[in-house]
Structure 1
Amino acid sequence: MEPDAVRRGERVHHGGEPDPDVLDFSANVNTRMPDGVDAVYRDALERSRRYPDDEYPDFRAAAAEYAGCDPEQIVPTPGGLAAIRLAIEVSLEAGDQALVPAPSFAEYAREVRLQGAEPEFVAHDRLLGADPAEYDLAIACTPNNPTGDAYDPDALRAFADDCAAAGTPLLVDEAFLGFTDRPSLAGREGAIVARSLTKLFGLPGLRAGFAVATGERRDDLATARRAWNLGTPAAAVGAHCLRDGGFVAETRERVAAERERLREELAGEFDLHASDAPFLLLDCGDRNVDAVLDRAREEGVALRDARTFRGLDSHVRVAVKDRDANDRLLEVLADG
């Protein structure tokens, strides 16, 4: 990182409600987790009296099978954000420019700035039309956060090929891709894919994820990552979850059905953005956003203030949870 840039930097706002008595719709995390996690964690905790194998062979094999790539292309990280930071650190230096979607995950611009580089914001739905040769790094998020829409796979692959031809690294954040049946860009030349176990497997506190890259980009990531950067419990539970294809399939079906139900129920009250993700972006229109947020909070429900995303000034974001919780959300928003 560039020291002066760090001193100028600041933290960014995220969802997540620390009060266990509040129903949290501000964070997009699966309400369920795969069977057997407790037993795997307990066994791994006992093995934590030794350093983990820094090659993480089992985790990398499971991640490769899940993402559809070669295990040698997997670089373990403590969460998807760690993969994003690692990719940006090895790709940018002071004075560089990065193509960044907006509105989107605020950590992209923050991490770019911490390197002393500058984010160049482009509307997320026009990003694939940009010329990657004009930038030192391009960043894409699919499905995009907070809008929820995913890029057409063919268009994204074509953009990745353009980036590779221009020599511009492409960082693709696929944190929510597991909720869809769309193919990953993992293993494509020139692309760095960041994946998270947080959202799909309902384990945000575990901090497990990985990056995928090929050739020199993979070598750079593997060299730059910290030793033992994935704890033994995170690696063991992560591998267990990544191999549970039945859980993934059930989650996709359940979330898609509940998302559609919420969309239909809320369509008369809010303008909704189309979504392939486990959340919906609601435009409050003439409603006072603070009043919507405060009213929900009074009823024990936390919503995500989406005004913290660049370019949004009248929006909230709500997670898609289980049916009972979603029913409660509908009651609160109807009363508001």
Structure 2
Amino acid sequence: MDPDAMRSGERVPHGGESDRDLLDFSANTNPATPEGVESVYEAALEESRRYPDDDYVEFRTAAGAFVGCESDRVIPTPGGLAAIRLAMESALSPGDRALVPYPSFGEYAREIRLQGATPQFVHHEDLLAIERDVLDGCALAVVCTPNNPTGEAADPDALAAFADRCAAAGTTLLVDEAFLGFTDLPSAARLDAAGVVVARSLTKLFGLPGLRAGFAVATDDRRDALETARRAWSLGTPAARVGAHCLRQGAFVRETRDRVASERERVRTALASRFDVRPSDAPYLLCDVGDRDVDGVIESARSNGVAIRDARTFRTLDSHVRVAIKDRRSNDRLLAALDCDG
């Protein structure tokens, strides 16, 4: 990390509501968690009197099976963002350029700048069409699928072709799949192209954002570099044990995907009575409020007991809010708070 960038950098805003009296639709986390989490956590807490096993065999095995790769390609990290930082630390040096989608997750540009590199912004809809001549001279390219906050997932064939062009140009491709588990789409962990690093978050799909569990996936020399660079005991014992347990809950994942798909369409139809709503493959919807005052929409929802995300913090979005998709009862409260017919 570049010391000068650390002194001049800033933090970026995120969703997540601290007022426990509000129903939080500003953060895109599953309202449900798999059965058995409490007992697994309790047992792991007792084992936390010792250091974790730094090999994390059980966690790596479960993670590899979940995304369809060999377990030795999995690098345990304390959350998806830690995987993103680890990948960027391994790929970037001061003065490098990195391609970043917009509007998208604000941490990408921040983490790039913290390495002393420069983000080069590309509209997320154009990113996968970038050709080799643009990639030449770029140390890193970032893809977010589904993109946050717009919700569209990348076409797997287009992503594979882009990965091949990145490999030919010597550009590391970082694929952030924080929300891909909510879809049936395959992980980029299955791609054969060199220089692909996948970042995954467990905590959104399994409703445990405070647990801080995730992982990266890479191959060859890049995998070795990430494994060497990751912190010792990078996951606490509770995070590793609960994470492995959750990753094996196939029925829970299928039920979650079905619920999110069904509720997302229902909520989108209702929200469209007031706002311009983007199609989405993710557990959230981006809404353009048009000529309405964004602050007024947000405060009106809060006065009705619901917190939604101010999406103006995302690059180029000046009249937008983002709402999560939860269970039917909670979603009905959201629609009522926004004065939309459910």
- Indicate the TM-score class for this superposition, using the shorter chain for normalisation: over 0.9
Distance (Å, rounded) in 2 between the aligned partners of 1:268 and 1:145: 23
Residue matched to 1:247: 252
Residue matched to 2:104: 104
Residue matched to 1:48: 48
Native 8 Å contact 2:99 2:138 kept in 1: yes
Structure 2 residue 69 is matched with structure 1 residue 69:
yes
The counterpart of 1:315, out of the listed 314, 320, 338, is: 320
Native 8 Å contact 2:273 2:340 kept in 1: no
Structure 2 residue 306 is matched with structure 1 residue 305:
no
Residue matched to 2:188: 185
Aligned residues: 336
Distance (Å, rounded) in 2 between the aligned partners of 1:93 and 1:287: 43
One-letter code of the match for 1:267?
A
Structure 2 residue 223 is matched with structure 1 residue 218:
yes
Structure 2 residue 87 is matched with structure 1 residue 87:
yes
Q: Once the two structures are superposed, what CA deviation does each residue of 1:37-80 show, in whole Å capped at 9, x if it has no partner?
A: 00000000010001111010000000000010001100000000
Residue matched to 2:7: 7
In structure 1, the residue corresponding to 2:261 is in which secondary structure? helix
Task: Output aligned runs, 1:112-191, within 5 Å.
Answer: 112-130=112-130, 131-188=134-191, 189-191=194-196
Distance (Å, rounded) in 2 between the aligned partners of 1:273 and 1:8: 35
Q: Once the two structures are superposed, what CA deviation does each residue of 1:279-321 show, in whole Å capped at 9, x if it has no partner?
A: 0000000100000011111111101000000010000000001
Q: Once the two structures are superposed, what CA deviation does each residue of 1:9-38 show, in whole Å capped at 9, x if it has no partner?
A: 011000001111110000000000000000
In structure 2, the residue corresponding to 1:42 is in which secondary structure? helix
Which structure 1 segments of 5+ residues have no match? none
In structure 1, the residue corresponding to 2:312 is in which secondary structure? helix
Residue matched to 2:21: 21
Structure 1 range deviating more: 310-319 or 188-197? 188-197
Distance (Å, rounded) in 2 between the aligned partners of 1:89 and 1:133: 20
TM-score, with normalisation over the residues of structure 2? Answer: 0.97
Structure 2 residue 331 is matched with structure 1 residue 326:
yes
Distance (Å, rounded) in 1 between the aligned partners of 2:4 and 2:240: 35
In structure 2, the residue corresponding to 1:192 is in which secondary structure? strand
One-letter code of the match for 1:306?
A
Structure 1 range deviating more: 64-73 or 326-335? 326-335
Distance (Å, rounded) in 1 between the aligned partners of 2:298 and 2:259: 26
Q: How far apart are residue 187 of structure 1 and its match?
A: 4.2
One-letter code of the match for 1:121?
F
Q: Once the two structures are superposed, what CA deviation does each residue of 1:201-236 show, in whole Å capped at 9, x if it has no partner?
A: 000000000000000110110011000010000000
Distance (Å, rounded) in 1 between the aligned partners of 2:28 and 2:255: 17
In structure 1, the residue corresponding to 2:317 is in which secondary structure? coil
Native 8 Å contact 1:281 1:318 kept in 2: yes
Native 8 Å contact 1:187 1:213 kept in 2: no
> Percent identity of the aligned residues?
68
One-letter code of the match for 1:215?
D
One-letter code of the match for 1:109?
A
Which structure 2 segments of 5+ residues have no match? none
One-letter code of the match for 1:163?
C
Q: How far apart are residue 335 of structure 1 and its match?
A: 7.1
Q: Once the two structures are superposed, what CA deviation does each residue of 1:109-157 show, in whole Å capped at 9, x if it has no partner?
A: 0000000100000000000122322311000000000000011100001
One-letter code of the match for 1:73?
R
One-letter code of the match for 2:112?
V
Native 8 Å contact 1:101 1:139 kept in 2: yes
Distance (Å, rounded) in 1 between the aligned partners of 2:153 and 2:256: 18
